[in-house]
Amino acid sequence: MTDITTRAGFVALIGEPNAGKSTLLNQMVGAKVSIVTHKVQTTRARIRGIAVHEASQIVFVDTPGIFRPRRRLDRSMVAAAWGGASDADLILLLIEAHRGLTEGVQAIIDQLKQLGQNVPVALVINKIDRVKAEVLLALSQKMNEAFPFVRTFMISAEKGYGCGDLRDWLAGALPEGPWLYPEDQIADLPMRMIAAEITREKLTLRLHEEIPYQLTVETEAWEEKTDGSARVEQVVYVARPGHKGIVLGRGGETIKAVGQAARAELEEFMGRRVHLFLQVRVRENWLNEAERYDEMGLNFKDGDG
């Protein structure tokens, strides 16, 4: 690649919870590197997924959804989202076609205006298969009247519609320079954190109401075995004693099913055998422990309110 002009840079994905940021990240990278569920606020840390397109290396920063924070964890997540945006070379604002210019999207636009014009912002209207063409055109006009977006893209992140055009534009818009990561690397999260995120996703999919937001998963031990497999020990921290029984399930059936699903996905991701062991512990104050935030890649002090 010595005779080819290479490009590389960071692209921040911002938007309201459930706008499809994680789905778009996984679509662009071509592999699952970020948690995807039907529940909002599932992405906590700034997850970097790495895509290569022609001579460009596009490093996507999948930020937590931006919302009105209520707790320390919420405030740290929102701070991480804006930190990812301000540090990026390009920003993509994702909105849902069927929801349009909501109060939350307007609040994000107001914040983008405060960032100034230092970072170009493109608009990505997602889930276009849910609305008619005339609605999309009206929404695009309304959004571009609200903010000077450099480009507007209409996509379906889940189905891949329009993602090729977006990828082409990003590859050409990034600054010239050497690649930032090895060619075969698709994420810059350590495997311990990816493994914890996979288990947390399986818990989020099985549990209901507030419980997924009251727990976290940490990889406590990782041992490489001589046969090429890995032994992984994880702890699920819950905030209340009553939650422990729910996470375990009757006769341990819930945590067993979660462990099986997480192990299968981890084995597929790593391409080798994994021995996964899960424990559930009650730590009533984990939401106020700096160590837990470090494990999630968040800044504890950002949660000071």
Q: What pLDDT is attached to residue 19? A: 87
- Spatial separation of the C-alpha atoms in residues 153 and 92, rounded to whole Å: 10
14 and 111, same structural domain?
A: yes
User: Which of 173, 200, 218 finishes a domain?
Assistant: 173
179 found inside a domain: no
Between CA 93 and CA 39 the distance in angstroms is 20
Query: What is the reported pLDDT for 85?
Result: 65
What is the structure's pLDDT at 40? 41
Answer whether residue 264 is part of any domain: yes
Q: Does one domain contain both 168 and 27?
A: yes
pLDDT of residue 41: 45
pLDDT at res. 35: 52
Domain end (from 146, 173, 200): 173
Q: How far apart are CA 204 and CA 217, in angstroms?
A: 11
Task: Let me know whether 139 and 41 are in one domain.
Answer: yes
pLDDT in the model for residue 70: 57
What pLDDT does residue 37 have? 47
Q: Which domain holds residue 63?
A: 7-173
Among 117, 138, 173, residue at a domain's last position: 173
The model's pTM is 0.66
In a domain, 106, yes or no: yes
Q: Is residue 185 a part of any domain in this protein? A: no
If asked whether residues 163 and 36 sit together in one domain, one would say yes
Whether the CB-CB separation of 160 and 24 falls below 8 Å is answered with no
Q: How many domains would you assign to the chain?
A: 2
In a domain, residue 292? The reply is yes
pLDDT in tens, the chain (305 residues): 456 899 999 898 888 878 888 889 889 988 666 555 444 444 455 567 888 999 999 988 876 555 454 556 666 665 665 565 667 899 999 999 999 999 989 988 988 888 766 789 999 999 999 999 999 999 999 999 999 999 999 999 999 999 999 999 999 999 999 998 888 777 766 788 888 888 988 998 888 765 666 788 889 999 999 999 999 999 999 988 889 999 999 999 999 999 999 999 889 888 899 999 999 999 887 777 777 666 666 665 655 55
Same domain, 52 and 195: no
Torsion, Cα 72 76 77 83, to 10 degrees, reads: 160
Report the CATH number that the domain containing residue 196 is assigned in CATH: 3.30.300.20
Q: Are residues 145 and 216 in the same domain?
A: no
Task: Kindly state whether residues 279 and 167 are assigned to the same domain.
Answer: no
164 and 197 assigned to the same domain? no
Q: Judge whether 1 lies within some domain.
A: no
Residue 118 falls inside a structural domain:
yes
Same domain? For 112 and 18 the reply is yes
Burial of 233 (0-12, 13-18, 19+ CB in 10 A): middle
CATH code, domain carrying 58: 3.40.50.300
Residue 93 lies in a domain: yes
